[in-house]
Amino acid sequence: MLVQDAVWLISLMLMGLILLVFIVVYARSQQRQDDYTPLKDRAYRLRTRFFWVLVFTLIPVGLYTLIDLPYPEANAETRVDHVVDVVGYQWRWELSQTEFKAGETVLFRVSTADVNHGFGIYDENLRLMAQVQAMPGYTNRLRYTFDKPGTYKALCMEYCGTAHHGMISDIQVVAR
Ligand SMILES: [Cu+2]
């Protein structure tokens, strides 16, 4: 398990705990010290409270499943056609592979040999298709599927010195 995943899980659990405290406080706030309410009314009240607890529990769970986190499968190394190592240098990219077939999914493992760079994949019209930060000491993963054939470009997206603009690598995607 990655450190980020563990931190995310712990954060979720803490958020859940805080939510639980809120629910308990809310439920208790309705209580009276000397309660002479008939039993059937109390049972009804309990049912109402139970309903709200359920709603407040289900809303976050529902939202969590609905939210589409960016690059959801970036960390999985399965179901990719190629795993490509990318290293940024002042001022060039080194890719272990630069030719792919259309429709192939590539997992880029991006790092840098010196300073921070930004690894951006652009299509033929220089439209940004995917990007990830290149950081010293880290390997950031970027999963991208090349849908159309053409000459893509890898550009640096983080100003990294005088020849930053020259960090261009071609990525060839040929038709199947
Ligand atoms: Cu750079």
For 115-159, write each residue's pLDDT tens digit: 999 999 999 999 999 999 999 999 999 999 999 999 999 999 999
pLDDT at 67: 72
To the nearest whole percent, how much of the chain has pLDDT over 70? 91
What is residue 88's predicted lDDT score, i.e. its pLDDT? Answer: 96
pLDDT of residue 49: 84
Please tell me the distance between residue 113's alpha carbon and the centre of ligand 1 in angstroms.
11
**For residues 166 and 137, what is the distance between their CA atoms, to the nearest angstrom?**
23
Q: How far apart are the CA of 167 and the centre of ligand 1, in A?
A: 6
Give residues with Cβ within 8 angstroms of 59, minimum separation 6.
Answer: none
User: In whole angstroms, what is the distance from residue 50 CA to residue 42 CA?
Assistant: 12
For residue 57, what pLDDT is reported? 82
Q: What is the DSSP string of the chain?
A: --HHHHHHHHHHHHHHHHHHHHHHHHHHHT--SS----HHHHHHHHHHHHHHHHHHHHHHHHHHHH---SSTTTT--SS-SEEEEEEEETTEEEES--EEETT-EEEEEEEESSS-EEEEEE-TT--EEEEEEE-TT--EEEEEE--S-EEEEEEE-S--STTGGG-EEEEEEE--
How far apart are the CA of 142 and the centre of ligand 1, in A? 17
pLDDT at 160 over 60: yes
Distance between Cα 95 and ligand 1 center (Å): 14
Give me ligand 1 centre to Cα 31, in Å.
62
Percent of the chain with pLDDT over 90: 60
Q: For residue 91, is the peptide bond before it cis, meaning its omega torsion is within 30 degrees of 0?
A: yes
pLDDT of 99:
95
The Cα-based distances of 107 to 21, 90, 97, 134, 137 in angstroms read 42, 23, 11, 14, 18
